[in-house]
Amino acid sequence: MILIEEIFKDLKKIGWLNEIKKLGSLKDRRIKVDEIIRKANLLKGEITELTLDEQLRLDYLIQQEGVDLDLCPDYYIFFSNKNNKFHHLCHRDGQRTRCRGSKNICSSNIKIGLIPIAKYDCSEEGARYAWSLDGKSSPFVESGSFKRRTKLGKGTRDEDIAAYTISVSKGCILSKNNAQCEFCVTGNSVLFERLLTAQEIALQNIFLVLDDKEANSLNKSREFAYMGQGEPGLNYPAVKKAIIGTDLIMKKLGIKTFRHIFATSGIPDAIYQLGRDIKNGDYGESEVLLHLSLHAGDKRSSIMPINKQYPLEEVVEASYNYYDNTRQQISINFMLLKNVALKDGTKFNNVSVSALGSLLSLLDPKVHKIVLCEFNCGPKVCRSEEISKEDVNPLEDLLKSKKFLYKKFIAFGKDNKLACGLLGGLAEYNLDRKTILESLIKANNLIAEHIK
C-alpha cells in the first residue's frame, strides 16, 4: 500500500498532474497516467499489475487533485493498517459501498443515461422514438409523439394539442415479480432494467417538444402522458420532479403545457400522494390528471396480477381520496378484451354488461368518468376477438343509464408500432446524430438548469 502513496507523491512532485488535467477525454487522461508511471519508473512493472483496489486508490488520489477520472465524487477508498485491507465508503451516508466508485451503479448518481437512437415517422399520426439506456442496445426505452391528443376530428380542441407518451422505466418493474399485465407488450417482452430518473423522464418531454417542428410552427400546446413503458405509480418521486421541471422549462421556452396525465394500473400510495401534492400546491398551476387502468371489476387478477397486491377496492378507495383532495374527475380506462386467451389457458372476457356493471358498482359518476378503450393487439401478447357495434351498444346503454360520462378511445398506431400498447422496445439506429444534436444539447442544458 505504501507503494501507491509513493507513486502518487512522485506523480505530484514531477508536476505531471497539471499535464493530465489539460487532456480532454477520459481515455487520454488514463493513457497519460499509465505512460507517466511507466516512463518515470515509478513502478517496477506495468500499472495493470497493481490490484484493482490499488488502482482504484491511485485513481481516487489523482481525482482528489482535480483530475476527473470518472469516479463518483462521493466515493472514498482508503487502506487500513489495522487490518491490512482496503475499505470502500460512500460519503453520502458514511456506509460501506460495493459500487467501486462507478457512477452507474448507484441510481442516485445517475442523471441522464438516455440517448435517442431512432425515430419512426408513423403515417399521419406522429412518430415513435427509441432511446438507448446507458449505451445498451435493443430493447430500447420508447416514447410516442402524436400530432393530436385524440382522434377527434377537425374543429375540436384536440386539433391544437400535440401529445406525448413518456416512459418511466426501461421495461416494467412489475415484471420483476411476474406481475405484469397480461395484455402488455412492454411488460411481456422488455426485460426490466431500471427506473428512469426525473431528468431522463423530463428529457423525453423536452426533446420531443423541441423535435416537434410541426407543433412548434403551429404554436400547439402540449400534453404529456406518463403511459409509455413502466408503471408511474412505482416511480412517483421521479415523475413528480420531472413534471415540475418540465413546466419550468416549457415556460422558459414560451410553449404552453396543456396538462400532464398520470396513468397508473393502481398503486394506492401513489394515488394518495398525488392527491395530497396537488392539494398542497406542489404542482403550482399545472393540471395533473389521474387515469386509472382498471379494465375489470371481478376477475381483474387474471389479467392484472397487480390486483393481488393492490386489490381493486383499495385502488378505488384511493381514487375517492384523490377526488376529495383535488375535485378532479378521474378517468377510468376499461379496455375491451373479448374472449382473450390467457397464459394459464383460460379465457377472459369483459365485453359484457355484467363485467362492466361489476366495476361501475364501485364507482360514482360524479367522481369517475369512463373510457372504453380499443385494445391494440401486439404480436407477442394475448389477442382479443373483434369487437362489434353490437358488443359496445349495451355497454353504452349501461353507462348512460347509470349517468356516467364516457367516451370511446380509438387506438393509435395499429400497424406501425407507434404506441397504444405496442411498445416492445424494438428499433434500429436511424437517427443522424447531427440532426438531433442541437435539440438534444438544448434539452440537456435546460434540464441541468431546472432539475437538480
Query: Which residues, numbered 253-282, are part of the site for ligand SF4 (CB under 6 A)?
Result: 265
Q: Nearest approach, Cβ of 272 to ligand SF4 (angstroms)?
A: 18
Helix H or strand E encompassing 434: helix 433-450
* Short-list 61, 20, 111, CA closest to 452: 111
Nearer to ligand SF4, 381 or 398 (CB): 381
Q: Nearest approach, Cβ of 362 to ligand SF4 (angstroms)?
A: 20
Q: Which of 181, 255, 267, 382 binds ligand SF4 (CB under 6 A)?
A: 181
Q: Which of 184, 244, 255, 288 binds ligand SF4 (CB under 6 A)?
A: 184
167 Ramachandran zone, left/alpha/beta (phi>0; psi -120 to 50): beta
Considering only 5-13, 180-188, 245-253, 406-414, which stretch makes contact with ligand SF4 by CB under 6 A? Answer: 180-188
Q: Distance of alpha carbon 99 from its chain centroid, rounded?
A: 23
Helix H or strand E encompassing 131: strand 126-133
Q: Which of 174, 292, 312, 422 binds ligand SF4 (CB under 6 A)?
A: 174
- Residue type present at position 161: I
How many residues at the interface with ligand SF4, by CB under 6 A? 11
Nearer to ligand SF4, 197 or 229 (CB): 229
Q: Which of 172, 270, 335, 447 binds ligand SF4 (CB under 6 A)?
A: 172
Residue 370 per-residue DSSP state: E
Query: How many other CB atoms are found less than 10 A from the CB of residue 105?
Result: 13
CA distance 269 to 264: 11
295 with 337: CB under 8 angstroms?
yes
Nearer to ligand SF4, 126 or 187 (CB): 187
- Residue type present at position 310: Y
> How long a stretch of residues is the chain?
452
Residue 196 per-residue DSSP state: P
Residue 167 binds ligand SF4 (CB under 6 A): no
Query: Which residues, numbered 211-240, are part of the site for ligand SF4 (CB under 6 A)?
Result: 229-231
Query: Which residues, numbered 315-374, are part of the site for ligand SF4 (CB under 6 A)?
Result: none
CA distance 286 to 277: 12
Q: Nearest approach, Cβ of 270 to ligand SF4 (angstroms)?
A: 12
Q: Which of 143, 180, 246, 257 binds ligand SF4 (CB under 6 A)?
A: 180
Give the interface with ligand SF4 as residue ranges (CB under 6 A). Answer: 172, 174, 180-181, 184, 186-187, 229-231, 265
